Structure 1
Amino acid sequence: MTTNAEQQAYRQDVLGPGYEVRTLPLRPDEEGEVVATLVRRALPGGSRRAVLYVHGFVDYFFQTNLADAWHEAGFDFYALDLRKYGRSLGAHQTPNYITALEEYDEELDEAARIIREDEGHDVLVVMGHSTGGLITSLWAHRRRGRGIIDALVLNSPWFDLNASLFQRTLGTAAVHRLGTLRPRVVVGKLGSSYGRYLHRDTGGTWEYDLTWKPHGGFPVVAGWLRAIRRGHAELNRGLAIDCPVFVACSDATSDPAREPGRISSTDVVLDVAHIAGRAPRLGRLVTLVRIAGGIHDLALSPEPARSAFFAELARWQDAYVPEPGAGA
C-alpha cells in the first residue's frame, strides 16, 4: 500500500525518462482499496494548456507517439489509468469492474482539479479512446457549465455494441436483468486478433505490457456491461456537451474472422456507422472526421492513416481550442 506522501508525489513512470506518475487515492469499494493513476509528460518550461487522455477497455496509456503529437502542438500531456486498469489494477481487484460509469467521475474530477488548480493550466482538452470516449462524453455532459473542459476529443468512441439488432435490443434487456442479480457473471470475451495485430511480439508495431493489455482481454461481466449499455442509452437520447467536440473514426468496419486481410485498414472492434450516426447527439458543436485506412485506435494506425489523423486533429485544435487567457 502506498503512503499519502507517495500518492501526492510524482515518480518516474514505467515508460521511462520524461514520464512521471502519481497515485490518486479513491473511495474504497467492496473489493477494498481503489486508486487511479495520473501520468504526466510536461514540456520543458511547462505550458498553460494541457490535454488529459483516457484509455479504452482492456487498455492503459502507452501511446507515447500521442504524447509527442500533443507536445508538438504546445500542450502538457497527462493520461489517466482509470481504477482497475493498467497501473491502477490491484492484485485484489477484478480487472475493469464497475457497475456504473458515474463511478469514474471521482478520478476524472480529481485529475482535472490537479491539472487546473494545482499545476496551473488555463486550458484543458480531454481526449477519450473507445470506452474512454463514452466515459468522457458522459462526464463532459454532467460537468457542463462549470468551465472544466475547454474541448473534447474522441478517438473511435464506443457509442453502441458492434453486434446484431437482436443482441442490441433483447440481449441488452437480458444483460440489465442479469447485471442487477448477478453482476459478476461472465457474459462474453474479446477476440485476440486486434491485440495480436498491434503487439510487436506477434508481428505488430507497438510495445506494451501484456499483463495490463492481454490479447484476449479480460472477461466481460454482466454488471460492467449493464453500466456500458446504460451509458449508450443515455448518449443515444442526446447529450448537451457545451464545448467543441472532435470525433474521429475509421472509414470502414470489418470482421477479422471473415476478412483477416483488412485488419490493418479498418476498425475491427466497433461499427463506425454507429460512431458517425451518434456523433451529432453529443452537443451543438461537433466535428466528425473519417480517416481512410484507420484502425480502431487511430493513433496506432499504419501510415498514412496515422499522420492523417494527427493532421486533422491539429487543424481542428487550431480552430477550436482556445489560447490561454482567451475570453478572460
Structure 2
Amino acid sequence: METGVIPVDDLDGPFDLQSTVESGQSYLWSRLDGKMYTTDDAHGGQAWYETVVPPLDGVSDEQAVVRVRQVDDRIEWESTTDAVPILTHLLRLDDDLTEITADAPDEPLFDRAFEQYRGMRLVRDPPFACLVSFICSAQMRVSRIHGMQQRLAAEYGESVEFDGRTYQAFPTPEALAARTEAELRDLSLGYRAPYVQRTAEMVAGGEADPADAVGREYEAAREYLTQFVGVGDKVADCVLLFSLGYLEAIPLDTWIRTAIEEYYPDCEQGTYAETSRAIRERFGGEYAGYVQTYVFHYLRNGGE
C-alpha cells in the first residue's frame, strides 16, 4: 500500500471532497461507511471514499484502487500506486478554482451557491463509465443511479484485491456488451437496459468511443455523443462536462430549467440548442459548467 497527503493549501483555490463526489456529478465513488448519497446537502464531511480507476491516458498505465478522505486542509490517500496524479485528474485538483469563481458573472444566486459549497470542484470521470452512469440517470434520484453503477460493478466488474479486501472495477465495454437485456434488467436498470447493452456493443466493437468526442468544437462534440443509444443532448452534456473537459457545457436538467424559469426567463429560447447557448452565455461562457454545477447542487438542496 502507498499512502500520502496533498495539502489543500498547495492547490489553486479551496477544495471540498464530499461536495465534489456527492453532488450528482459522479457515481463511481463509494463511501467506506456505506452512506454514499444518503445526505442530500453534501459538503464538509471527513468520510473515506474509494474507487477502482482504470488506466488513464497520460495519467496512469495501470488499474488502481484509490481511497481518499479530507481532514480539514489535508487530502489523505491510500492506493495500490502513487495516487497524486490520479486524484489530480479525477478531482480536477489542477483547476484554479479561485480564478474560476472570481470570473463568474456577478449574480447573487451564483454568490450564494459558491459560498454554500465552497471548494466543490468538477470531476473528470473515465469516459465509458461516465457515459453509462448518465444513460442510467434519466428520471432517477442520485442514490438510485449510484446503486445501479455499484450493482453493475459487483456483477460484471473485474475483482481487485487491496489491503485485505476485494474491490470491483466498473465493467469494461466488452463485459457489458456480452450481457443480455434481461440480465441488465435484473439489476434494476429497467428500460435503460437495452441502451446500456447497445452502447457497450458500440464501444466494444469499435463503432464509436465517447473519448473520440474530445478535440471537436463543443456543439459538434455533443452531437457526436448523441449517436450512442439512450443519449440525448442532456446526457451528452453531462459526459462532456463530467468526463471530457468541456467546462462550458450546461446540462439542461430539471433544476437548471427551474433556474431559467425563475431567474433567467429571457434565456428560454424554445429549443435545447438555443436555450443552451443563451444560458451558457449568462453563466459566463468558458466556465459556465462550473457555475451550473454549483447552482444545481444549491437549488437541489433547498438553497432558494
Q: TM-score, normalised by structure 2?
A: 0.31
Give the structure with the larger strand fraction. 1
Give the structure with the larger helix fraction. 2
Q: TM-score, normalised by structure 1?
A: 0.29
